[in-house]
Amino acid sequence: MKKLFALVLIVTVFACEQKKQDKHENQEKPIEITETPFSLKDKKISIYTTAHNNDLKLSLNTETIIFEDFKQPLETDVAINVDASKHYQTFLGIGAALTDASAETFYKLPKDKQDQFMEAYFNVEKGIGYSLGRTHIHSCDFSSGSYTYIEEGDAELKTFSIEHDKTFRIPFTKKAIEAAGGKLTMYASPWSPPAFMKTNNNMLQGGKLKTGFYQPWANYYSKFIKAYEKEGIPIWGLTIQNEPMAVQRWESCIYSAEDERDFLKNNLGPTLEKDGLGDKKIIVWDHNRDLLFQRADVILNDPEATKYVWGTGFHWYEDWKDGTPMFDAVKRVHEAFPDKNLIFTEGCNEKYDLARIVNEDPKLAERYGKSMINDFNNGTVAWTDWNILLDETGGPNHVGNFCFSPVHGNTQTGELTFTNSYYYIGHFSKFIRPEAKRVSSASSSNNLLTTAFQNQDGSLVIIVMNVSNEPVGYSLNMELKKAQLNILPHAIQSIVLK
């Protein structure tokens, strides 16, 4: 009898372990084989190109592209290979932060330039079709000064008011929503709690949220969401803290992974649910790729915290260490937590220098292209640029942290400057639409980067970016067919099959 019991126990344990293993294997391979695979038959090819030091800016190629029978490429050939039957993550959107600085710059421009700006960013046909937006909870560095929504010391939030934002940021955001066709997926991020809630009694220069103010600060998020929604700005989600490991000379606040986990599960998550805001998507981390896995590992492995988490957000500034982006960190989090989402929440080119725009420094735009291609290929569902608009100085910024934006508005002349970064982002946002699925694509050359998505309307979008100083001829291979294409030096292409 004892032997029989032992045998049953061994079999049961083995079955449980096998189930765990099977579940793990399923998580490791989030691939869907489509029931109706994409077919090249009757598809029209359109190729759009942007190139540095060239007039091509999201320009349509009028050449006829012909697919011929596939022939095995040689090792010396350059090829982009696509399998549109393999589907991965669902695309949420691409957009930018609608900051105080952006709004203030916008309202200093003439009316015709304001209209041009809105159309250029949010119209799908005439612009690049942004579908995602980020805003900030009271001030950040890209504000003209520090401010909160309450009087200092008001822990009960009796004086809470977003009146400050009604001058520029709220009307600016509402115009963006209107320009996007009435819908813009908006999320919010705080840079710092009010000074009295922090250990350093200062909104700037780091400090931590005092434990005694965890609950009042959680209530603050709830009040912000309700106030913005009352103004006609739906809030889809929020991040817990912008850059929680950076002591900055501007608004900042430090949370260890354990701090963020505990604030989320004990205060913020329950508070949003209690206040009828449980549907809001909560994003953790919201900082650089280097510590992305560590933060996700601590929070997402906690059963009480992870139930509130929609996904993990990240920035691209980790390259300050050695100049190299840590794209693999994104992949590692996706592998470990395939049931959670990944979203790029901020990136911009720092240290504004007009000469780099005038001379079309390719590093500015290519930083966007490289990041977007790698992040999407590693499982990211959404991508957010930092300031959507800045002035001719790279501001305004109340601590002199001047940066680049894809579009700059000259508040002296009233002119708009569309940089190559705007067009590079547009190669993704204009053609890859919300609810698209990423499909398999691979390059045989380090000089050509690629990603690909299939939209809900059946169209296929293949992005190809040449980071070299030379033009490249390459074959596009799919469904045992081949088309011969060319791409200019430091250029990006959107190949649309529709």
Check if the beta carbon of residue 404 is closer than 8 Å to that of residue 463. no
Place of tokens 């959680």: 218
The angle at the Cα of 326, spanning 25 to 429, to the nearest 5 degrees, equals 85
CA nearest 127: which of 423, 397, 363, 440? 423
Place of tokens 């600085």: 101
- Cα separation of the two ends of the chain: 68
DSSP conformation letters of 345-377: EE---BS--HHHHHTT-HHHHHHHHHHHHHHHH
Q: Alpha-carbon dihedral of residues 96, 100, 101, 106, nearest 10 degrees?
A: 80
DSSP conformation letters of 88-130: EEEP-EEEEE--HHHHHHHTTS-HHHHHHHHHHHH-TTTS---
Cis peptide leading into 434, omega within 30 of 0?
A: no
Number of H helices, E strands in the chain: 13, 22
Check if the beta carbon of residue 277 is closer than 8 Å to that of residue 289. no
- Local structure of residue 255 (DSSP, 8 states): -
Tokens standing for 109?
A: 């421009």
Check if the beta carbon of residue 252 is closer than 8 Å to that of residue 246. yes
Q: Which amino acid is at 197?
A: M
Which residues are annotated as catalytic? Answer: 243, 346
d(CA 315, CA 386): 10
d(CA 284, CA 239): 6
d(CA 287, CA 236): 20
d(CA 195, CA 341): 32
Check if the beta carbon of residue 122 is closer than 8 Å to that of residue 130. yes
